[in-house]
């Protein structure tokens, strides 16, 4: 086969260009540390790496979301802790107010202090986060959740929503709690039932909060949960009956309430049980309470299942009661003491509710910590996979570079010799 001089030059030049390109590509790989410089270098690896990049980017964004969620939960927890401190301060002042030696001016002074705590609690309830959103307004983050006063009452303008953040591939986590949950829906009384004096009471009787001795009996479907304790005073002997408001019958006789004297004799300070005694019809509702002082004829107390009430309403009621004072009137003193007893019970329930919210926040924070640890492990896996797909094996690359340099040098030398062949050298 005849090979022209032009063919020799073209073939030699093509070989040199190819060898130089291979050497240059290896040099680029070594300088970048990447094996795949363009998708065409390894289409399969490039496609897989692109998918991993996208998943890794989502994991990185979720890590940012977890950071922001942790910050939001931390701020919410601090505000709820402040609210708890304010409520605890109010409770201390209410215990002081129970001192019978205090004058009306002393009671008004305590009421003034509680008003200050009330204002502080309103400030906490209307607090904003770092983004300017109201913390306890639910989904309505741009609406001030609470407005009102002790005299006019406090209203809630938010909703029950909980703002959430995507903190994992399949996990959305609540980063807020609504004002209804934190401040508005507090259990009353002892959490199971509430004791209230009759509106027309004229005696000095004061009830404690009472307690449930058997949750099974108290929560039985046969228990209507609403009772009235009525008193009669005849010949200086005080008796009482327990009326089931659901059936209208006396619990102590099993029949419609009869005329005084009533079945049981009242002794101040004794425990009154919602359970049968002696020859009474058998019943046990698993609850008890105590009443001190001297009921007047016709006085009564109601016992009803606990409802819900805002902490603001609880505080407002007791402030107004303290400001009214007693003027030394035994009936007014008894009314105030009943209000203080009920309020302290409601305050205890509010503190319990706040602790519950804080414990939930703590559980979410712990979950974020676990997700952060998992996210970091997943990120390391992604980095390892991307390294396997893209990163350069320097040992192999150095060996290849040396080999390519040898090839290029050989090609250059051979081209030089071949291009130098000419018949003119022999003329």
What mean pLDDT do residues 238-253 have?
96
Mean pLDDT of 157-165: 92
**How many independent structural domains does the chain possess?**
2
pLDDT the model gives residue 426: 59
Is residue 425 assigned to a domain?
no
345-361 residue pLDDT tens: 999 999 999 999 999 99
Asked if 269 and 382 sit in the same domain, the reply is: no
Neighbours of 318 (CB within 10 A): 26
In which band, very low, low, confident or very high, does the pLDDT at 315 lie, cut at 50, 70 and 90? very high
Indicate if 355 and 328 belong to the same structural domain: yes
Query: End of a domain among 288, 306, 324?
Result: 306
| Model confidence pLDDT, tens digit, residues 48-73 | 767 877 888 888 898 999 999 999 99
Is residue 9 domain-resident? Answer: no
Residue 169 confidence class, pLDDT cut points 50, 70, 90: confident
Evaluate whether residue 207 is within a structural domain: yes
- Given 244, 275, 306, which residue is the final one in a domain? 306
Map residue 289 onto helix, strand or coil: strand
The total of other beta-carbon atoms located within 10 Å of residue 216's CB is: 9
pLDDT digits (tens, 9 = 90+) for 373-414: 988 888 888 777 766 666 666 676 677 667 767 766 766 676
The predicted pLDDT at position 309 comes to 95
As given in the structure block, the two tokens for residue 166 are 């995507």
Bridge-based pairing state of the strands 206-207 and 193-197: unpaired
308-309 and 186-187 strand pairing: antiparallel
Q: Are 184 and 164 in contact (CB under 8 A)?
A: no
Q: Is the dihedral of CA 10, 15, 16, 17 positive or negative?
A: positive
Same domain, 144 and 209: no
Residues 179 and 49 occupy one common structural domain:
yes
pLDDT at 340: 96
Rounded CA-CA distance 392/115 in Å is 71
Inform me whether the pLDDT recorded for 1 exceeds 60: no
Tell me, what's the pLDDT at 228? 97
Element at 285 (helix H, strand E): strand 284-292
Higher pLDDT, 424 or 343: 343
Residue 161 is assigned to a structural domain of this protein: yes
Domain identity same for 391 and 292: no
Q: Is the dihedral of CA 78, 79, 82, 84 positive or negative?
A: negative
Looking at the fold, whether 123 and 255 belong to one and the same domain comes out as no
Claim to verify: residue 173 and residue 51 sit in the same structural domain? yes
Closest to 213 measured CA to CA, from 126, 273, 261, 147: 273
Write out the residue range of the structural domain in which residue 346 sits. 42-188+310-416
Q: Do 286 and 162 belong to one domain?
A: no
For residue 259, pLDDT beyond 60? yes
Same domain, 58 and 135: yes
Q: Do residues 55 and 143 both lie within one domain? A: yes
Average pLDDT, the chain: 88
Q: Is 91 domain-assigned? A: yes
121 inside domain:
yes
Both 175 and 197 in one domain: the answer is no
Contacts of 312 (CB under 8 A, 6+ apart): 118, 121, 122, 146, 148, 153, 154, 183
Is the confidence at residue 243, as pLDDT, over 70? yes
pLDDT top residue among 391 and 137: 137
Whether 20 is in a domain gets the answer no
**Count of other CB atoms within 10 angstroms of residue 25:** 15
Tell if the pTM clears 0.85, that is, is over it. no
Residue 197 lies in a domain: yes
Instruction: Identify whether residues 148 and 277 lie together within a single domain.
Output: no
State yes or no: pLDDT of 261 exceeds 80. yes
Supply the CATH number for residue 161's domain: 1.20.1330.10
Q: What is the mean pLDDT of residues 178-186?
A: 94
pLDDT (0 to 100) of residue 385: 74
Please check whether residue 173 is in contact with residue 368, taking contact to mean a CB–CB distance below 8 angstroms.
Answer: yes
Q: Last residue of a domain, which of 254, 281, 306?
A: 306
Residue 172: name the closest of 73, 69, 74, 80 by CA: 69
pLDDT band of residue 123 (cuts 50, 70, 90) is: very high
pLDDT at 53 (0 to 100): 76
**In Å, how far from its chain's centre is CA 201?**
42
């Amino acid at each position: 086969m005849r090979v022209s001089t032009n063919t020799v030059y073209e073939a030699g030049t093509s070989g040199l260009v190819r060898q130089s390109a291979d050497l240059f590509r290896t040099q680029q790989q070594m300088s970048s540390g990447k094996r795949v410089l363009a998708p065409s270098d390894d289409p399969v690896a490039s496609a897989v790496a692109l998918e991993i990049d996208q998943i890794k980017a989502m994991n990185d964004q979720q890590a940012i979301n977890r950071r922001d969620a942790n910050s939001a939960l931390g701020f919410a927890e601090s505000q709820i802790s402040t609210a708890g401190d304010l409520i605890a301060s109010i409770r201390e002042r209410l215990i002081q107010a129970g001192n019978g030696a205090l004058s009306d001016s002393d009671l008004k002074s305590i009421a003034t202090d509680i008003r200050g705590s009330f204002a502080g609690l309103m400030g906490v309830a209307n607090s904003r986060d770092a983004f300017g959103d109201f913390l306890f307004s639910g989904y309505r983050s741009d609406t001030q959740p609470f407005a009102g006063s002790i005299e006019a009452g406090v209203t809630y303008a938010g909703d029950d929503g909980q703002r959430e953040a995507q903190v994992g591939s399949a996990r959305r986590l609540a980063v807020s709690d609504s004002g209804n949950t934190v401040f508005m829906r507090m259990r009353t009384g002892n959490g199971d039932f509430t004791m209230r004096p009759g509106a027309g009471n004229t005696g000095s009787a004061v009830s404690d909060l009472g307690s449930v001795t058997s949750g099974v009996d108290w929560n039985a479907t046969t228990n209507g949960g609403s009772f009235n304790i009525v008193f009669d005073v005849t010949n200086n002997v005080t008796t009482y009956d327990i009326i089931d408001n659901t059936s209208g019958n006396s619990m102590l006789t099993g029949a419609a309430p009869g005329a005084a004297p009533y079945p049981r004799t009242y002794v101040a300070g004794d425990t009154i049980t919602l359970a049968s005694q002696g020859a009474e019809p058998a019943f046990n509702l698993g609850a008890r309470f105590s009443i001190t002082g001297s009921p007047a004829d016709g006085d009564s107390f109601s016992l009803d299942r606990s409802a819900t009430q805002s902490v603001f309403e609880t505080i407002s009621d007791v402030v107004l009661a303290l400001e009214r004072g007693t003027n030394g009137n035994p009936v007014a003193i008894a009314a105030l003491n009943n209000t203080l007893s009920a309020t302290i019970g409601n305050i205890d329930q509010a503190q319990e509710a706040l602790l519950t919210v804080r414990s939930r926040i703590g559980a979410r924070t712990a979950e974020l910590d676990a997700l952060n640890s998992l996210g970091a492990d997943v990120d390391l896996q992604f980095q390892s996979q991307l390294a396997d797909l893209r990163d350069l094996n320097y040992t192999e690359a150095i060996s290849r570079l040396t080999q390519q340099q040898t090839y290029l040098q050989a090609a250059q030398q051979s081209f030089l010799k071949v291009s130098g062949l000419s018949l003119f050298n022999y003329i």
